[in-house]
Chains A and B, each alone.
Chain A
Amino acid sequence: MEAALQTNIQNCYHCGDSCGDEPIVAHEKAFCCDGCKAVYELLEENNLCTYYNLEESPGLTGTKPVSEARFAYLDDPGVEAQLINFRSDKICKLTFYIPQMHCSSCIWLLENLFKLNPGIAETTVNFMRKEVAFTYLHEKTSLREVVELLTRIGYEPAITLADTDGKKTTKKSRALIYKLGIAGFAFGNVMLLAFPDYLDFTQGLHNNFGSFFGYLSIILSIPVFFYSARGFFTSAWEGIRQQMVNIDLPISTGLLALFFVSLFDILSGRGPGYLDSFTGLVFFMLIGKYFQQRTYDTLAFDRDYTSYFPVSITVLKEGGEESSTAVRNLQVGDRIRIRNQELIPADAILLHGRAMIDYSFVSGESEPVEKVVGEVIYAGGRQVGESIELEVVKEVSQGYLTQLWNDTVFSKNEAQYLHTYSNIAGKYFIIVTLLVAAGALIYWVPRDMDIAMKAFTSVLIIACPCALSLATPFVHGHTMRVFGRNKFYLKNTGVVERLAKIDTVVFDKTGTLTEPSEAEVTYTGKALSQAQSQAILSVLRHSTHPLSQRISEAMKGSTAPVIGFQEFTGKGLVGKVNGMLVRVGSATYLGVPADKQNDTLKTTVYVSVDGVVLGYYTFFNVYRDGLNKVLGDLKDKKIAVLSGDNNHEAARLRELLGNEAELNFNQSPVQKLEYIQKLKEQGQHQVLMVGDGLNDAGALKQSDAGIALSNSVTNFSPSCDAILDADSFDKLSTFLNFSKKTMSLILLTFAVSLVYNVVGLTMAVMGLFTPIVSAILMPISTLSVMTFATLSVRYAAKKAGL
């Protein structure tokens, strides 16, 4: 067994990563690190090895040992109370979000946690939402122990500031499902009761049971009228109050006419009424509503900085002792300690230590930025490396980044997009309906009062644009599915219509137009000899600085031993290789005079050998694959770029984007927001913003449609209307064009539904409209609209290559 293990390239039994040259072999299994081995041993000891049988190497990489103090804040009763959903004498219940969850082994292990900690009574996983609901006995264990156990086995829950923002009882509203159930129940039964009326030979039956069937139908329809259909009436009423006509107004008049005409017919014994059509219409339209409401459970579209910031932070007291304090209570002047991988929660000045700040969530820049003592570090960055000490200079909510959320855009509710196709169509519908109904009245009143009333009500009934109201949700619902298959996830179906109207596209630069994980390195200066470049590479290999690593990745070759290597924070490196003294670092470190420095805006690294400056390395962004294609397809739209960076890439961007594009550099998060606002107000533009970091959050929110680009869609992304997987970036223009195409598909679907309305209207004005006509016309029209919408979107998607 041992021999077999050693000859193969080994992968870790726990996490599946390559074990490298020297795997840790224990229990006849190979592990890549002590972390993985420790987790395996813990599970093995507790008979939880089923974990490894369900999926191959299900474990998580990089289970690092956790520092003791890290979760100390969970012992604070205040924090605990905010996180817990329910507490009784014995048990506590709470829900954790665990982003690492990825397979059925994870479900199994998380639901068997009680074997590892007897204090845990029950755990229930919701895999799609990546949530685990815990019930634990607070006498036997504590919140901190539960979290530490999770962290130890690699499933560290994401506990963020947002979790403490009051109770997150944002349970999905089930009202629509109830409504749908009741409408469906009533529809089925009423149709059964109405059916005999449509057949000739049941005449006798009708005489005996007609009124019984009628009354029963009324009883069944009452909950539909008062509960299931209420949404349409309230929406229509809201519209009237705001002096707007929406699609729900003609629907409501149709439903009201149907219901009251039926009541009148049945109670006065004139006929069976239209209650089957009434319940059926409500049922079908609720299906449409359900389609419209659907969204992706797994993705969060409305996160702000609080879902990213930690709950508490280590504060240093005067005597140097550490205590954890809630981030909300952080005050100006507090001294805080930030450890490796911890997030800086407030703008602060660096006091001690070497800060390497990873701003990838904020700006999209993947390289950690080096800061020296005395510099201000903006909130939102993550420290990589040693622990540092800082002094807070601004409160959490007033920081450079976080003050963005004080803008009114974020306090307003979701803007109402009233000028949708269906609402506009609804307006014309009601006008035409009223004209036709009035015409029928004028024609029939002098001739036959009975037919006049009948014609009038029938017109109102048949004009109920139910098929019309289904067209939009079905076309958009299917479009959303097509997009989802191509890794473009919309918040809801309404976004399709907004995407279709876009005439201006604004991009963020770093991380959106550029590939965050790559950069081109070029060398300018005197040619390097073989020995020189080997010496430089050898020195660079010793440094963990990201720029050194970038350059050494780009250089190839062997290395030689380095003597006297030293690294000066914020300056550079020095070392002796084969008798050559190599120095690498900033211009000031090497003493390059300011007037000789080229391209001061670019990131440059100078090299010198034996005191002679040879040249410098510069870094260029690498633009995303397919950017040219996307930009080419967007020629008919106005293009702009908002970058938080300086303008050293201006020339390259200009070349890519053309002369008409507006390029804006050095934009703060708030300026980005204001730029979009200006575009919308002054130019009457429909703006699409494409961004990726927290600093774009304001612009994404302010725009008509905001797309967050993400390398992994379940990762953090700022509040937005859609999340686009970075792999599908090259399809962005296709998505926009397809959205536009769906609008014409909706128009076509409208036309299909109009045919039925015209047939119905003709019969109605002639006074020939009867319950049986309605019972046939209504399902045919709705079903054909649904099928047409589904098939046409599929066909169009195939043609567009999606």
Chain B
Amino acid sequence: MYIIFILISISVLVAAAFLAAFLWAVRSGQYDDDYTPAVRMLFENEVGGAPKNDKIAQKQQ
């Protein structure tokens, strides 16, 4: 039964890790804006966006 000491310690540690993750998420501003990221993730990643930029750069040169 003494395994319970270990199990409970582990469970509390895991929970503490989640708490730490939550606090980090809040601190890094993830809870500041709960609308824009939801829209942003739906934008298509433009394939070859970078080469186009290069082309423009060449044109300008």
Write the residues of chain A forming the contact surface with B, with a CB cutoff of 8 angstroms.
Answer: 46-47, 50, 54, 104, 107-108, 111, 115, 118, 125-129, 171-172, 174, 177-178, 181-182, 185, 188-189, 192-193, 208-209, 212, 216, 220
B35 near A174 with CB under 8 A, answer no
Q: How far is the CA of A193 from the CA of B57 in the complex (A)?
A: 64
Q: Which residues of A contact B31 (CB under 8 A)?
A: 174, 177
> Which of A107, A174, A188 lies in contact with B40, CB distance below 8 A?
A107
Q: How far is the CA of A54 from the CA of B33 in the complex (A)?
A: 21
| Shortest distance between the CB of A48 and any CB in chain B (Å) | 10
**0 or 1 for each of B31-52: is its CB under 8 Å from A? (1 = yes):** 1111110011011101001001
Q: Which residues of B contact A127 (CB under 8 A)?
A: 33, 35-36, 39
| Shortest distance between the CB of A115 and any CB in chain B (Å) | 6
A47 near B52 with CB under 8 A, answer yes
Nearest CB in chain A to that of B22: its residue: A181
Given contacts A129-B33, A181-B22, A208-B1, contact A107 B12 (CB under 8 A): no
B26 near A177 with CB under 8 A, answer yes
Given contacts A107-B36, A127-B33, contact A189 B12 (CB under 8 A): yes
B12 near A216 with CB under 8 A, answer yes
> Which of B16, B26, B36, B52 lies in contact with A174, CB distance below 8 A?
B26
Q: How far is the CA of A181 from the CA of B39 in the complex (A)?
A: 27
A212 near B5 with CB under 8 A, answer yes
Nearest CB in chain A to that of B53: its residue: A115
B33 near A46 with CB under 8 A, answer no
Nearest CB in chain B to that of A115: its residue: B53
| Shortest distance between the CB of A778 and any CB in chain B (Å) | 22
B43 near A172 with CB under 8 A, answer no
Write the residues of chain B forming the contact surface with A, with a CB cutoff of 8 angstroms.
Answer: 1, 4-5, 8, 11-12, 15-16, 18-19, 22-23, 26-27, 31-36, 39-40, 42-44, 46, 49, 52-53, 56-57
| Shortest distance between the CB of B21 and any CB in chain A (Å) | 10
Q: Which residues of B contact A107 (CB under 8 A)?
A: 36, 39-40
Q: Which residues of A contact B56 (CB under 8 A)?
A: 46, 115
Q: Which residues of A contact B52 (CB under 8 A)?
A: 47, 115
B15 near A128 with CB under 8 A, answer no
Per DSSP, chain A at the interface is helix
| Shortest distance between the CB of B24 and any CB in chain A (Å) | 11
| Shortest distance between the CB of B27 and any CB in chain A (Å) | 7
Q: How far is the CA of A216 from the CA of B5 in the complex (A)?
A: 11
Q: Which residues of B contact A128 (CB under 8 A)?
A: 33-36
Per DSSP, chain B at the interface is helix
Q: Which residues of B contact A182 (CB under 8 A)?
A: 19
Q: Which residues of A contact B42 (CB under 8 A)?
A: 104
Nearest CB in chain A to that of B52: its residue: A47
24 A-B contacts, Cβ less than 8 Å apart?
A47-B52, A50-B46, A54-B43, A104-B42, A107-B40, A108-B43, A115-B49, A126-B32, A126-B33, A128-B34, A129-B33, A171-B32, A172-B32, A174-B26, A174-B27, A177-B31, A178-B23, A181-B22, A182-B19, A185-B15, A185-B18, A189-B12, A192-B11, A220-B12
A181 near B23 with CB under 8 A, answer yes
Q: Which residues of A contact B32 (CB under 8 A)?
A: 126, 171-172
Q: How far is the CA of A47 from the CA of B49 in the complex (A)?
A: 9
Q: Which residues of A contact B16 (CB under 8 A)?
A: 185
Q: How far is the CA of A172 from the CA of B26 in the complex (A)?
A: 11
Q: How far is the CA of A259 from the CA of B61 in the complex (A)?
A: 73
User: Which of A115, A185, A188, A208 is most buried by chain B, counting CB atoms within 10 A of its CB?
Assistant: A185
Per CB-CB distance, the 4 closest pairs between chain A and chain B, nearest first, are A185-B19, A127-B36, A126-B33, A128-B35
B46 near A189 with CB under 8 A, answer no
Given contacts A47-B52, A107-B40, A118-B53, 18 further A-B contacts (CB under 8 A): A50-B44, A104-B39, A108-B43, A115-B52, A115-B53, A115-B56, A126-B36, A127-B36, A127-B39, A171-B32, A174-B31, A178-B23, A181-B26, A182-B19, A185-B15, A188-B15, A189-B15, A220-B12
| Shortest distance between the CB of B51 and any CB in chain A (Å) | 10
Nearest CB in chain B to that of A175: its residue: B26
| Shortest distance between the CB of A647 and any CB in chain B (Å) | 48
Q: Which residues of B contact A220 (CB under 8 A)?
A: 12
Q: How far is the CA of A54 from the CA of B39 in the complex (A)?
A: 11
Q: How far is the CA of A801 from the CA of B35 in the complex (A)?
A: 30
Q: How far is the CA of A47 from the CA of B47 in the complex (A)?
A: 12
User: Which of B5, B33, B49 is most buried by chain A, counting CB atoms within 10 A of its CB?
Assistant: B33
Q: Which residues of B contact A209 (CB under 8 A)?
A: 4-5
Q: Which residues of B contact A47 (CB under 8 A)?
A: 46, 52
| Shortest distance between the CB of B48 and any CB in chain A (Å) | 10
Q: Which residues of A contact B12 (CB under 8 A)?
A: 189, 216, 220
A216 near B8 with CB under 8 A, answer yes
| Shortest distance between the CB of B17 and any CB in chain A (Å) | 11
User: Which of B1, B5, B16, B39 is most buried by chain A, counting CB atoms within 10 A of its CB?
Assistant: B39
Nearest CB in chain A to that of B9: its residue: A216
Nearest CB in chain A to that of B4: its residue: A209
Q: How far is the CA of A189 from the CA of B39 in the complex (A)?
A: 36
| Shortest distance between the CB of A626 and any CB in chain B (Å) | 32
| Shortest distance between the CB of A218 and any CB in chain B (Å) | 13
User: Which of B1, B43, B52 is most buried by chain A, counting CB atoms within 10 A of its CB?
Assistant: B43
Nearest CB in chain B to that of A177: its residue: B26
Q: How far is the CA of A46 from the CA of B53 in the complex (A)?
A: 8
Q: Which residues of A contact B35 (CB under 8 A)?
A: 127-128
